[in-house]
Every structure is written in structure tokens, then in C-alpha cells.
Amino acid sequence: MLPRTYEQEICSIAATLEVLGDRWTLLIARDACLGVTRFADFQARLGIARTVLSDRLARLTEAGVFERRRYSEQPERFEYVLTERGRDIWPILNSLMTWGDRHLKGGEAPFVIHHRGCGGHIDDRRRCETCGQEVGVTEVVRLPGPGARRIQPQPPAESTAEAAEAAEAETAESRQVVASGQAG
């Protein structure tokens, strides 16, 4: 197994790998760039173990990629919001996606990235092919591409969090009913 740090390397790529160098971390960053912020949503969309997700989110927060913000006090819950450092990962992810579409998917991209402003396709340099604007992560939308027919749909980020919160509230309510002796 490779070490997590590359202290003997004086190289920016090695330093970047210390932060982003495993597949779960890159997939978490990808989903964050698509607007996912809540633990339950990351877990539902990625199918990742809770312990692994907790570890990666903690590391990314420590590295300054995410800011951890409380969105609920009872129960206490946090969301993970991309910082400027985190938003700067978007060009890396776009390049990885472009390379994968070209060399691994035979040109049949599972998803395509479009400019939210005018609807134009975003090229591999993150430029809108319609209006010519260089586009940042907050200005894009991901749509099904020609390779999408092989992909199972994923729930939207908001509905997953709301469903998880509703299920947790229902479970807590059931516990209270059982504890009070009012069960059926």
C-alpha cells in the first residue's frame, strides 16, 4: 500500500495527492461540485461506508477544501460547503472527466457539462462553446450525455437529505412512543 504522505518528494503533484489522492475523495469532491453538501446525500449517492465518508470529510475539512457548517441543532447536523480552495478542484475534475470520456468511454460521455447561463456545452478548457465565457463550478449544470443510458438515476441532493431527516424523525418518534408505553 502506498503511503498517505510523500515527504521525500518536492513536487506539487505529490502534495496534491496527499489531499486528493484516492478515489472516494475525488468522488466526494465531484459530488460537492455538483451541489451535494450533506452527509446523508454523499452516502446515498456514492454508496460509501459511513466510516470512510466521515474520514474523508474530516480530512478534506482539515485540508481547507470544505467548511463544516451546522444546519440543524436538534439533532446536531452539519453540511460540508466547498471553500475557495475546494472550488479550485473543479478544473482537475473537469480534466479527469474529459480524459475518461475520451479514452475510457469511447467518446460516449455519461454526463455533459453545460453553462447554466446560456445552456452552451463546456469544453475541456472550461469555456462555454456558445458564449465563449470561462465557466466556474457554480455556473455549470450536469446533464445526461450519450453514454447515460447505462447509468442508474441518482436522487437529487435535496430529496435525499429530506428523506433521511424524515426517516430519522420517524424513528425518533417511534422510540418515544415505545418508551412511553403507547405502542400498539
Query: Residue 1 and residue 92: Cα distance in Å, rounded?
Result: 24
Query: Residue 98 and residue 104: Cα distance in Å, rounded?
Result: 10
Residue 113, H or E segment:
strand 111-115
Antiparallel, parallel or unpaired: β 140-144 and 76-82: unpaired
Query: Residue 4 and residue 138: Cα distance in Å, rounded?
Result: 30
- Render each residue's pLDDT in the chain as its tens digit; 184 residues: 456 666 777 899 989 999 999 999 999 999 999 999 999 999 999 999 999 999 999 999 999 999 999 999 999 999 999 999 999 999 999 999 999 999 999 889 999 999 999 999 998 899 999 999 999 999 999 999 998 875 555 555 544 445 445 444 443 443 343 344 444 3
Residue 102, H or E segment:
helix 90-103
Supply the pTM of this predicted model. Answer: 0.76
DSSP result, 1-63: ---S--TT---HHHHHHHHH-SHHHHHHHHHHHTT--BHHHHHHHH---HHHHHHHHHHHHHT
Contact 79, 71 (CB under 8 A): yes
